[in-house]
Chain A
Amino acid sequence: MVKRYLLGNEAIAHACIEAGIDFASGYPGTPSSEVVDTLRAQKEREFYIEWSVNEKVAFENALAASWCGLRSMVTMKHVGLNVAADPLMTSAYTGAKGGFVVLSADDPYAHSSQNEQDTRRYAHFAKIPCMVPASVQEAHDMMKDAFALSEAVGLPVLYRPTTRICHSKGDVDLAEASEEHRTGAFEKDPTQYVVVPAHTRVLHKKLNEKQPAVRKAVHALGYNTAEVRGKTAVVACGIAASYVREVLPADVSFMKIGCFPVDPAWMEEFVRAHETVLIVEEGAPIVEERLRQLSCGVKVFGQMDGTVPKEGEFSPALVAEMMVKAGILAASPFQAPAAAAPGLPPRPPVLCAGCPHRSVFYAIKRAFPDGIYPSDIGCYTLGLQLGTVDTTICMGASVTVGSGIAHSGEERPVVATIGDSTFLHTGIQGLINAVYNNAEMTLVILDNRITAMTGHQPNPCTGETAMGASSVPVSLEALCRACGVQFVETVDPYDFTASLQVLKEAKARPGVKVVIAKQACVITAKRAKVRRGRYVVDPEVCTACGACLRFGCPAIGRDENDKAVINELCNGCGVCADLCPTGAIGKEGRR
């Protein structure tokens, strides 16, 4: 036993190693990405690991490994589970053999997400167990148990941490890495693994028959706990349980739900012992829906009556307010804070200094001043601040939204942007569809050779696998041509003039055009010791026109005379020098 200060995701990864994991796959998504990244970073590794092209692919790979008897895990974020929902639903029918854990991290408050959906709904939908940790230590302990639970009930287990678990840190007790590893062997059994209607009808019945045993196994783990201390109770799930414990009066009963499905008889006994119950859960009112069915005569406070917010994330202060509303606390124990300072300029995340995407967006704006700009999920969504992102829904939707708009009679040109990883994830299907159905649009693939937003995970454009082996990078040009695109051009976004020229050429052509803007992510380039040198402004020549400032690079600011000045963030892309109308910007030491 050793105690370490770890990120939730690191503790989860360590638990996988303690559980003797054999196979891990995933698609990066904040806040889940560091689980696979931590496993990847292990110097000695006795398991297979991959970053897959999307969540459905990752899910099916890991499911197959489980069928071969391996302990496997697939990781993603909540919206990624939508992509993997198809195999998820049926995997409950085929079942798992080796422990199979589906980690889907939720993001209340959408810190880094397009919605706030609740993964627990999927577990209920698929009729499989779901585990929801309340602290970093529990995240560790639960993950270890998840593999054993999956094997005991023969089902995939959904593991649902939230942002404030994944990205919180704590002192965690760890155990030794497991020495035990398995070699996969597939045993043929078409009645189990071939879901033709005749088999699936039997499998569905079996799944339903398993449910009482599943409830029993889940309850036996001891993550659902209850203490009766008075006539008033608080019921909480996940990280909210930690917030509740911080403010809970000593004479108030407390029930903590860590695993689903919950045993209804156990919950009913607890609820009926009270006069008032408050349910505190982030996301959907899942515990509340069950509890209200069992609560006849008991006064219940929760999301459904407006005591608890239906959106966003909780905090100890917010939980204290809920308790005040429910009459459990007379007043919040937290002192009122000083007022937030008004009128400060916001500091939202921006594209890095020298990011190749900024230059492409700027060129798009020049070449298509009246364009409509559907975009996608990644760093480049930050192009929003440059006015070149008009829509974002989900991975791959830039291409499909683009072709949809193009087919709607809209006269303005459509220019969609998508990253390399997103294109391989679900963009390519949209491209096939757009070309085959003769859409009028330009697709710009922002190819920085890496999945940058989530922490620089390799993808098939990178030329290196998650295991660290070199591999053949996919040819985006050849792929796009194979989809039927006639105009495919690759540009270097640091060459602003040439990029602009190619975009204008694309504009003049009919049908679907693809421009691949290829330049390594500035962060990976820096790590690879690429040094381009810095650019400087000649204050004698600068007219303070502000053209370079409109480029939105964080390395460019103004001095006390309003003239441009380039700070130490400069990564030397040199695009500002191309944009300066007076030629005031040049490479340091070159004049």
Chain B
Amino acid sequence: MSSSFDVLIVGIGGQGTILASNIIGEACLIEETPIKGVETHGMAQRGGSVESHVRIGGEFGPLIVPGGADLMIALDLLEAVRYRHYLKKGARIIANDHTVVPTSVHMQSLDMPGRDALVADLADFDLTLVDAADLAAEAGNLIVQNVVMLGAAAPSFPLKPESLEEAVRRSVPPKTLDLNLRAFALGREAGLKKE
């Protein structure tokens, strides 16, 4: 059996799950820890529901088994609920305290669960809610919400926060480096506060 620490990053196509998983990958390279992962490309990128599997210490395949993930980073609250069955009992969830209403709700007149109902659906887990938009705005641009969330999850990783921070340096476009480092720091602070 694999002894990997399995992280599921979920969200909406375009929110930056791929960059988040790349940063974790770089951090593993820095710590010389094996890593495997897999993510959604193609069709699902167009605003669809996306999932990225990351297996820190993983030596076998890239897929996380339902019921096997140790940690979830959810860039959207509704997506956290959609993928909660991937988590181990009582596992940790770092979720954005915000959800984008899917177009299907308007087009097909479907019911959209409210924020409190979504939070209640995650009651069995160790949930930390983060206002990613607020912190990203504080860092300087809404676009860095993914890095805010990664920062908030940093205390829950079996990796040194410094490795993750160095990985941010190596993974983001140079001219956005300061912005991303601020986002990571603000997220980390928020994650620690909730510990």
How many Å from the CB of A250 to the closest CB on chain B? Answer: 11
For B68, the chain A residues whose CB sits under 8 A away are: 317, 334-335, 337
Q: Interface with A: B85-93, B146-154, B172-180, B186-194, which one?
A: B85-93
Assess the A170–B67 pair: CB atoms within 8 A.
no
* Other-chain residue from A34, A335, A346, A349 in contact with B88 (beta carbon distance below 8 A): A335
Chain A interface, >50% SS class: loop
Size class of the B contact interface (CB-based, 8 Å): 35 or more
Q: Let me know if B195 is at the binding interface, CB within 8 A.
A: no
**Residues from 10 to 48 in B contacting A, C-beta threshold 8 Å:** 12-13, 21-22, 25-26, 28-29, 34-48
Assess the B48–A349 pair: CB atoms within 8 A.
yes
* Other-chain residue from A247, A338, A343 in contact with B67 (beta carbon distance below 8 A): A338
Cα distance A350–B50 when bound, in Å? Answer: 13
For B103, the chain A residues whose CB sits under 8 A away are: 350, 385, 552-554
User: Are A385 and B107 CB-contacts (below 8 A) given A31-B42, A171-B29, A333-B1?
Assistant: yes
Assess the B47–A349 pair: CB atoms within 8 A.
yes
How many Å from the CB of B160 to the closest CB on chain A? Answer: 17
For B35, the chain A residues whose CB sits under 8 A away are: 5, 169-171
* B98-134 contact mask (Cβ, 8 Å, vs A): 1 or 0: 0011111111001111000000010010000000000
**Residues from 150 to 170 in A contacting B, C-beta threshold 8 Å:** 164, 167-170
Cα distance A171–B81 when bound, in Å? Answer: 30
User: Are A337 and B66 CB-contacts (below 8 A) given A171-B29, A549-B106?
Assistant: yes
For B1, the chain A residues whose CB sits under 8 A away are: 246-247, 333
**Residues from 320 to 347 in A contacting B, C-beta threshold 8 Å:** 333-341, 343-347
Assess the B29–A347 pair: CB atoms within 8 A.
no
Q: Which residue of B lies closest to A245 (CB)?
A: B60
Assess the B104–A346 pair: CB atoms within 8 A.
yes
Assess the B37–A169 pair: CB atoms within 8 A.
yes
Assess the A112–B62 pair: CB atoms within 8 A.
no
* Other-chain residue from A239, A344, A552 in contact with B82 (beta carbon distance below 8 A): A344
For B48, the chain A residues whose CB sits under 8 A away are: 347-350
For A112, the chain B residues whose CB sits under 8 A away are: 41-44
Q: Let me know if A44 is at the binding interface, CB within 8 A.
A: no
Cα distance A475–B46 when bound, in Å? Answer: 29
Q: Let me know if B159 is at the binding interface, CB within 8 A.
A: no
**Residues from 527 to 561 in A contacting B, C-beta threshold 8 Å:** 546, 549-550, 552-554, 556-558
Cα distance A379–B89 when bound, in Å? Answer: 38
Which of B12, B21, B37, B86 is packed against the most chain A CB atoms within 10 Å?
A: B37
Cα distance A135–B58 when bound, in Å? Answer: 12
Assess the B43–A111 pair: CB atoms within 8 A.
yes
Assess the A5–B26 pair: CB atoms within 8 A.
yes
Residues of chain B whose beta carbon lies under 8 Å from any beta carbon of chain A: 1-2, 12-13, 21-22, 25-26, 28-29, 34-49, 58, 60-63, 65-68, 78-79, 81-82, 84-89, 100-107, 110-113, 121, 124, 142
Residues of chain A whose beta carbon lies under 8 Å from any beta carbon of chain B: 3-5, 30-31, 34, 111-112, 135-136, 164, 167-171, 239, 242-243, 245-247, 315-317, 333-341, 343-352, 379, 382, 385, 453-454, 546, 549-550, 552-554, 556-558, 567-568
New contact pairs (20) apart from A317-B68, A347-B79, CB-CB < 8 Å? A111-B43, A111-B44, A167-B40, A168-B61, A169-B35, A170-B36, A170-B62, A242-B60, A246-B2, A246-B60, A246-B61, A316-B61, A334-B68, A335-B68, A338-B85, A343-B111, A347-B78, A350-B46, A350-B47, A550-B107
A-B residue pairs in contact (CB < 8 Å), sample of 30: A5-B22, A111-B44, A112-B42, A135-B61, A168-B38, A169-B37, A169-B62, A170-B34, A170-B58, A171-B35, A239-B61, A242-B62, A316-B65, A317-B68, A334-B65, A335-B68, A337-B66, A337-B68, A340-B82, A345-B104, A349-B43, A349-B46, A350-B48, A352-B46, A453-B42, A554-B47, A556-B106, A557-B101, A567-B100, A568-B142
